[in-house]
Structure 1
Amino acid sequence: MSAPRRRQRRPSRKTTSGSSTSRFPVGLAAGIVLAALNLRLAVASIPPITDELHVVGVAGRAAGSSAALFAGTVLAGIGIAIGNVILPSIVKNRFEHATGLVTGTYVAALTAGAALAAGLTVPLERSIGWQAALAVWALPAVAAFAVLGTTLSGDRTPSPIQGQSGGVQGLLRDRLAWQVTLYMGLQSLVFYAGLAWLAAILRDDGYSPGTAGALLAVYALGGIPSAAVVPVLAERMRDQRVLAAVVCTAEGVALLGLLLATDAAVAWVTLLALGQGGAFSLALALMVLRAPNATVAADLSGMAQGFGYALAALGPFAIGALDDWSGSWDVALSALVAMTVPLLVVGVQAGRARTVGAG
């Protein structure tokens, strides 16, 4: 590992945050809008539809044209986004006594699966070509579709119907719903800002490209243990205020460490990853725990992820703009440290043992 140097002010450069915000695909926004419309679909009927969109989208990306690539990405994104939004409703309805375990397993699998695809696509491209390397990722989606079809074909679990609870519109006047939404948005903002710029920050601190890339992988994957454990703890606790405080404090301390003690970047990135993993899985768990039933869980999830990701999309752009304006990452990192304060506040408020609509 190359020895880090002190951060120096450098000439302003063109901010590349436009490419960073592209991490929020059109499909994500479209999927959340569809869910937020409160369509009158049985929740049980939605997972197969989302998986079909995912399969068609991923397979379509390998067609060989730019149009197919982008269209397939949008379709896959829509499927993933709708699935993410309805997840809390499904967990609330079908796994009421194991919400923490199911949520934690989901987040851990989501993170590991994304990392697996990112790590294997380039080697696959070198051996079988880029079209086949893209198409191969339709196979896990096909397997998931088969499992869903088998599971749901004989399932007689009652499914809530969206549109019976007042919908997202009714939650817009609920303070607790906004606290959950802001917690989701702020923790996502910090995460995606780090995902977009952490490698550049480490490079400017004197770390080699290989080391910076390795630490970025730690940041993306290191949160899996906390992501799996935090929802289980959240379900067993009377309220989740302490958990929110712990994960938010971990993020704040890690970011402060990256600002003031760059020579210990390995420790700070690991701590930040653990805090982020716990914060994200806690955000999903709160959508289940703060809802009185599965229908409201779907509505709360649509609100929290719709507004939350819109807020999070500002993170990479804002951090890149601060760096461009100041010529140093110190200002940008200081802003991220400051962001953990409102994150802590809304996290503790959202962690109180209440449900939306209860006053």
Structure 2
Amino acid sequence: MATRYKLFFFALILASFNLRPGITSISPVLHGITDDLGMSSTSASLLTSIPLLCIGLCSLFAGRLANRYQSEKIIAIFIACIGIATFLRFFTNSPIYLLITALFIGAGIGIVSPLMSGFIKSYFPDKVPLMISMYSTSMVVGASIAIGLTTPIQHWYNDSWKIGLGFWSIFALMAVPLWFRVIRHPHTLKYKTAQQNRASLPIKNKQAWLLTSFVGIVILLFYCFAAWLPAIVEDKGYASSYAGLTGTISMIAQLPATLLLPLLLRAVPSRRFWITFFTLSEIIGLALLSFTNITPVVASICLGIGAGGLVSLTLLLPIDKTNSPIEASTWSAMTQAIGYMIGAVGPFIIGLLYDYTGSFLPTMYLLIGIGFIVIFLGWKLTEPSSKNVG
């Protein structure tokens, strides 16, 4: 039994590695892409916005697939989809081609992500906060490796950003064989009631809608930083290599928040406190970039700590508010479906405003205001009287 749970644990980790690099690997080589393919900032922003939109749309089908088929098989198939789409980036020859790969990567992430919540609740029911921490930490590690090594890989291979992007299909190559082993040794719970088997999106649940709004704005902030932080730093007059470094540091700074979240929640169980703390960290980072000349590394650390904590909480809250693995999957599907659609707007707006104004400063002010909305929604979501009243 211990060996089986090790298999499930490592399958979770390797699946998580695949859920960010297809998006975060774009930002370090964004200037090379726009120069080679003749893309504007607005069109380049679609390389982040399209996957987010696809994540949202495809998340709507994750719960249905989990009801109808073995969820482990679905996860394995769509990890393979992510890997194939990433591998095809080796052969990019036009903006449309690159955008199509982004679409399929987003579709794969959109199916896998909400199913992982049900997987955790099913396989690790007594260790949910710890497994959420491992899950979110693994995503951060995958994103950090991709954003940190894409440019070096590009330089190692004839300055080809295509190789820098396509290289990250290696994560799927590592994960898929392990998931085929999970399929042969499933631990999927058999739900005892027809009501559970018919579990659907909680569209009539006010708490689910409040959580969805919260998740959407958190995702919007996260991917605005992931897509544009290096460009924002470069626009302040720093070298491109330094700007790329700040993006990597921001990703690495997420690790303490994701790794230590179970300990933090044990010390201070209040979700409201940590939502406020992590959001203020992001607001401080934005303020440092906007109003001071302090090295952007400090701002990137603040942004990373805040983003890591908030994203981890968005993964935990649907599990907090549900009573079964399939219900956790459907809540996660709804929050991610609509949440990622909201999030997809952020990188596009930044690119559009930059093309229009020639400056990132207006968007920085906008993001600071959005940060205070996150705090407001977080407080409403964690009111003592808040209950799952599906």
Change (3 A) 1:209 1:125: closer
Residue pair 1:192, 1:312 contacting (<8 A) in 2 also: yes
Q: What's the CA shift string for 1:130-158, capped at 9, x where partnerless?
A: 78776654443233222223234233441
Runs of 5+ unmatched residues, structure 1? 1-13
Change (3 A) 1:320 1:120: closer
Runs of 5+ unmatched residues, structure 2? 1-38
Residue pair 1:177, 1:356 contacting (<8 A) in 2 also: no
Partner of 1:34: 61
Residue pair 1:62, 1:69 contacting (<8 A) in 2 also: no
Partner of 1:47: 75
Rounded to whole Å, the distance in 1 between the matches of 2:45 and 2:355 is: 14
Residue pair 1:202, 1:212 contacting (<8 A) in 2 also: yes
Residue pair 1:238, 1:353 contacting (<8 A) in 2 also: no
Change (3 A) 1:109 1:324: same
Partner of 1:345: 376
| Residue 306 (structure 1) shift | 0.8
Q: Secondary structure at the match of 2:314?
A: helix
Change (3 A) 1:234 1:49: farther
Rounded to whole Å, the distance in 2 between the matches of 1:62 and 1:324 is: 29
Change (3 A) 1:194 1:124: closer
Rounded to whole Å, the distance in 1 between the matches of 2:171 and 2:248 is: 22
Rounded to whole Å, the distance in 2 between the matches of 1:237 and 1:155 is: 36
| Residue 310 (structure 1) shift | 0.7
Identical positions, percent: 24
State the one-letter code of the partner of 1:311.
I
Rounded to whole Å, the distance in 2 between the matches of 1:69 and 1:162 is: 42
Partner of 2:112: 83
Residue pair 1:95, 1:102 contacting (<8 A) in 2 also: yes
Change (3 A) 1:225 1:52: same
Partner of 1:5: none
For residues 255-274 of structure 1, what are the structure 2 equivalents within 5 Å? 255-274=286-305
Aligned length: 344
Q: What's the CA shift string for 1:103-150, capped at 9, x where partnerless?
A: 121222222223324444555566668787766544432332222232
Rounded to whole Å, the distance in 2 between the matches of 1:352 and 1:42 is: 36
Residue pair 2:134, 2:259 contacting (<8 A) in 1 also: yes
For residues 318-333 of structure 1, what are the structure 2 equivalents within 5 Å? 318-333=349-364
Q: What's the CA shift string for 1:231-269, capped at 9, x where partnerless?
A: 554478654111111111111122122222232432222
For residues 107-256 of structure 1, what are the structure 2 equivalents within 5 Å? 107-121=136-150, 123-124=152-153, 137-160=168-191, 164-168=197-201, 171-231=202-262, 233-234=264-265, 238-256=269-287
Moved more, 89-98 or 20-29: 20-29
Change (3 A) 1:128 1:318: closer
Change (3 A) 1:353 1:162: farther
Change (3 A) 1:140 1:162: farther
Q: What's the CA shift string for 1:175-211, capped at 9, x where partnerless?
A: 2111211111111111222233323332333323332
Residue pair 2:56, 2:339 contacting (<8 A) in 1 also: no
TM-score calculated relative to the size of structure 1 = 0.81
TM-score calculated relative to the size of structure 2 = 0.76
Change (3 A) 1:75 1:18: closer
Q: Secondary structure at the match of 1:181?
A: helix
Partner of 1:3: none
Residue pair 1:249, 1:340 contacting (<8 A) in 2 also: yes
Rounded to whole Å, the distance in 2 between the matches of 1:190 and 1:278 is: 13
CA RMSD of aligned residues (A): 3.3
Rounded to whole Å, the distance in 1 between the matches of 2:291 and 2:187 is: 57
Rounded to whole Å, the distance in 2 between the matches of 1:17 and 1:109 is: 30
Residue pair 1:34, 1:82 contacting (<8 A) in 2 also: yes
Rounded to whole Å, the distance in 2 between the matches of 1:344 and 1:287 is: 18
Residue pair 2:210, 2:377 contacting (<8 A) in 1 also: yes
Partner of 1:310: 341
Q: Secondary structure at the match of 1:96?
A: coil
Change (3 A) 1:134 1:185: closer
Moved more, 299-308 or 21-30: 21-30
Partner of 2:8: none
Partner of 2:7: none
Q: What's the CA shift string for 1:304-355, capped at 9, x where partnerless?
A: 1111111111112223444455554333211111101110111223335678
Residue pair 1:54, 1:141 contacting (<8 A) in 2 also: yes
Higher helix share: 2
Rounded to whole Å, the distance in 2 between the matches of 1:329 and 1:244 is: 26
| Residue 286 (structure 1) shift | 1.0
Residue pair 2:46, 2:99 contacting (<8 A) in 1 also: no
Residue pair 1:227, 1:281 contacting (<8 A) in 2 also: yes
State the one-letter code of the partner of 2:346.
G
Rounded to whole Å, the distance in 1 between the matches of 2:267 and 2:73 is: 30
Residue pair 1:244, 1:351 contacting (<8 A) in 2 also: no
Moved more, 285-294 or 196-205: 196-205
Partner of 1:284: 315
Moved more, 348-357 or 44-53: 348-357
Change (3 A) 1:234 1:327: same
